[in-house]
Each structure stands twice: as structure tokens, then as C-alpha cells.
Amino acid sequence: MNYEVNQEKTSQRLEAIRVSTSRTIIYFISILINLIATIVLARKLIPTDYAIYQLATKRIISYATIPLSLFSLWIYRYIVEKQSGAYISSVVFAFIQWIFTLIIGIIFLIFYSKVSLLTLIVAALSISFQSFYYVIRTAIDAARPVRLSLLELLYRTLYSSLIFIALYLISNSLLLAFLSTLVSFIISSIIGLYWIRDRVSKDNAKNIKNTLKEWTLGSHATALGVGFGLIPSLDAMIAYPLVGSLIVAAFFVSSSVSTLLRDSTNVGLRYLHSYVLRTGDFKTAIRNLEISLTLVLPLLIYGIMYPKYVIYIYNPIYSWASIAVSFFLITAIIEIVNNGISQIASGSIRESGIKAAKGFAKMNLLGVLPSIIYIAMLAFVFILFKKMPLQDILLIWGIVYFIRYLLSVIITSWFFIPKNVNKSIALQLTPKLLLYIMVSSILSYIIRPLGSPSNRLLIDIKYLAIPGLIQALIFYLIVILIDKGIRKNLKNYLKNYLKRI
């Protein structure tokens, strides 16, 4: 009997590592593909158009998806808990969210941009389908964890291809950028719906009203977190009128690499919420966080040490912002730790359905403090120092950004992670993270870029990517050699995989 129990626990741990790692790796590949679109947008759009595009797809969307932010937790948990009516209610809600986003998008775009009527309509439709896709993505995240990464891979491949064709081969217009984005979200949403069609068709349509009502009642737990959580997105919205479009464009360029690498791990770590909720296994969750950090750490460190090369790949006109790149990449490490801890904390709330609302309300209430401090400090900087050189303002922005996530890690771990788990994090994760940072830093110093930054895209990519990948591969080999746990997990993972074949 004990043997069977141990076998089941081992199987669960391997499954958690398999799902989390697979999601991270597949999503990382999609991120690399997405770099094509990111670079094309930064190079082909003038700073004013680039700032408008990023404001719409990164900041206005945050306000337009407030309903989803209120309901996403319950959509995810209800599907994980296999509650009746969860699937079909999610689809109904997706259409409600689409209409809301379209209205809010039009209002914000009229206020912030001076674009043509056609561009405004296409932009509003683009972010409305972006929100629709986010709802479908949330349902797939809960129902089919690995399939989510595949969906993202399909979306980003389509998105990058369309952006490249539109801006590089046709015309560098803002209208075409939004049109490409719109088409990619429509097609990806259709694919997502197709993947869950069976579960939607078999779901209980009679429970739609009650399910949506429960989500609405439960939204009081997330309302504070959502309301205050929108505060950080005010950063670019405040900077745009106070300092100008150039610093907003530079902010999105200099933080984009850290955002892409961070997002690739966050998709994998999102599974920890479901895993801890089902099993209560904190040790494996911490191990997954460690593995996720290990996968992206050499790339982050290489970018930290050679930020000018990163900027030149995006667009040399932003070279003055290269120092800020290092701060955003350092912050990405803290952001990944913060997300992992937050998912573990969310999974540790064991109550079912909206009974979990009280725990999440407390988490959201305390979790807002770093965001308030962040935006207050930024507003102070933008108002008091707006006459300073832009590179200095952006550098301060990067430092304040770092402080925000450091505070978030401290608050979440102190108030919402069991003390014995915090002790495990301190003893298990922190020493290895510091060791791996040191190893990667030494390798990055030895394996330098192949030449000086130039204005030629392919040459700059070659100079940075080839030694960067060599450094990463050597780093992974060293980690496998010195870490017995990773060797064991890798061996079990491959053994399990070969059995399936």
C-alpha cells in the first residue's frame, strides 16, 4: 500500500515537472519567434506610432479587460475543480468581454491618439479580440495546461509572420500593424475554441446563470486587487503626457526582452497554482520554480552584461537607453521569483469555489502596496525631474520598477507562504540562484560578443546570439553536472517520455 502511495506521489511530481517545464520550453520557443515581430515593430514604426501601438496593446488593454481580471481566477479554479457550467460560461463571458473592450478601447484611443478613423476602428477591434482570446486562453490554461503553450506558439508564429509581411514587405504603417494583430487574434481564438469544443458542448447550459452569478459574487475578492493592480499600468499613461512619446517608446523597447523572457517562465509557473491546490506539495512547486529560473537565467545574465547589443538589435536610435536594459533584466529575475511565489500562495488557499474569496481578498489587499509605491514614486520622478536627460529618467524608472517587485516578493512570502515553505525557499532556492548567477556571469565575461554593435540587424544578431547561446549551453551542462536533483529529474523525465513513445 505504501509503495503504491509513493509511486502515485512520484508520478504526480514528475507530471508537475513535465507540464511546467514543457509549458516553459514551448512558450520560450514562441517568445523567440515573437522577437521577430517585436524587432520589426521597434525598427519600422516611428517612435510616436510605436508608443501608440504599445499603449493600446500593453496598457489600454489592461483597463479594457477589467471584467476578465475580476473573473479569471474563478474561470481558472472552476474549470480545475470541474464545476458544472464552467466551460460554457467562459465562452459566454468571452463575448461579453469582447463588447466591453471594444467600447473602452474606442474611448481611450480617441483620448490618447490622433490617428485616422480607420486606424482607430481597426485598433479597437484588435484589442477587443485580444481580450476575447485572453478569456479562451484562461479556459485552456486550466483544462489543457500544455496545449496552452502550443496555442501561444501558433498565435505568436502567425502574429510575427503577419507583422513581418505587413511592415517589412508592404508598408511601415500603424494601420497595418493593428490589422496584422487583429487577424492573428481572430484566428488564434477560433483555434482555441475548437480545442475545447467537446467540453463546451457537453457542459451544462442550465448552469450559466448561476455560474456567472457566483463569479460576480466572488469578484469582490479580486476587485481590490484588480482595481489597485491597474495602478502600475498608469506608468506609461502618465509618462506619455508628462515626458513625451519618446521615453514611452524607449521604456517598452528597453523592457521588452525582460518581459518576453519573464513571460516564458510565467506560463509554466501558472501551473503551480493548480498543482499545489490539488496536491499540497510545496517542495515540488519550489523545485519547478528553480528549474524555470535555471532555463532563462543564462540569457538574462548575458543581456545584463551586454545591454547595448540588445538595444541595437531592436533599433539603434534607442541606444541612449541601453543602461536601463540591464535594470529591467535584473528585475526579470525578481519578477519570476515573485510570480512563482504568488502561484504557490494562490494554490495554498484550499477552499473550493467562491469560499476561497476571503483568502484572495486578503492577498490582493496587501499585494497592492508595491504598486501604490511604484506609481507614486514614478509620478514624483516625472513631475520633479522631467527636465532631466531622458536616459537618466529612464534609468530611475528601471530602479523604481525593480523596487516594486522586490517589495512584492517580500510581502507575498511573509504573509501568504507557510513559514516552513519560506524556510525551504531560503535554503533550497536562494543559494542555488546565487551560485547560478555567478556561474553565468563568469561564462558571460569569458564568452564575449563577436564584434562591436553595428547598424545592421543580422550582424548584430550574429554578434550577440551565437556567443549567447554557446554560453547558455555550457551553463546548462555545468548545472546538470553539479546538480544531482536536476540530473535525477532529467533521467526520470526521459525515462517516462521513452515509455510513452
- Map out the domains of the chain as residue ranges: 45-219, 230-501
Q: What is the pLDDT of residues 210-234, one digit of tens each?
A: 888 888 877 766 776 677 667 777 7
Count of alpha carbons within 13 Å of 250, Cβ hemisphere only?
26
- Non-local (6+) Cβ contacts of 203 within 8 A are 84, 85, 86, 87, 88
What is the predicted pLDDT for the residue at 477? 92
The residue-averaged pLDDT of 303-319 equals 87
Per-residue pLDDT, 369: 84
**Element of type H or E holding 213:** helix 208-229
Rounded-to-integer distance, Cα 317 and Cα 141, Å: 38
Alpha-carbon distance 93 to 422, whole Å?
Answer: 37
Identify the three-state secondary structure at position 368: coil
Among 384, 326, 343, 253, smallest CA distance to 19 is for 343
* pLDDT value at residue 186: 96
Sole residue written with cell 507575498: 412
Which pLDDT score is estimated for 371? 84
Contact 303, 325 (CB under 8 A): yes
| 409-414 contacts, C-beta under 8 A, 24 or more apart | 409/334, 409/337, 409/338, 409/341, 411/366, 411/367, 411/369, 411/370, 412/338, 412/341, 412/342, 412/345, 412/363, 412/367, 413/341
pLDDT digits (tens, 9 = 90+) for 408-451: 888 888 887 877 777 777 777 888 889 999 999 999 999 999 88
pLDDT digits (tens, 9 = 90+) for 316-331: 888 888 888 888 899 9
Asked if 327 and 394 count as a contact pair (C-beta separation under 8 A), the reply is no
pLDDT at 148: 78
| Max intra-chain CA distance, the chain | 72
CA atoms within 13 Å, Cβ hemisphere of 44: 22
The answer on pLDDT for 6 being more than 80 is: no
375 has a pLDDT exceeding 70: yes
Residue 179 predicted with pLDDT over 80: yes
Q: Does 3 score more than 50 pLDDT? A: no
Model's pTM, two decimal places? 0.72
- CB neighbour list of residue 166: distance below 8 Å, 6 or more residues apart: 176, 177, 179, 180
Cell numbers at 454, concatenated: 553595428
Residue 5's pLDDT is 45
Say which amino acid occupies 55.
L
HSE-CB for 253 with a 13 A CA cutoff: 36
Neighbours of 200 (CB within 10 A): 17
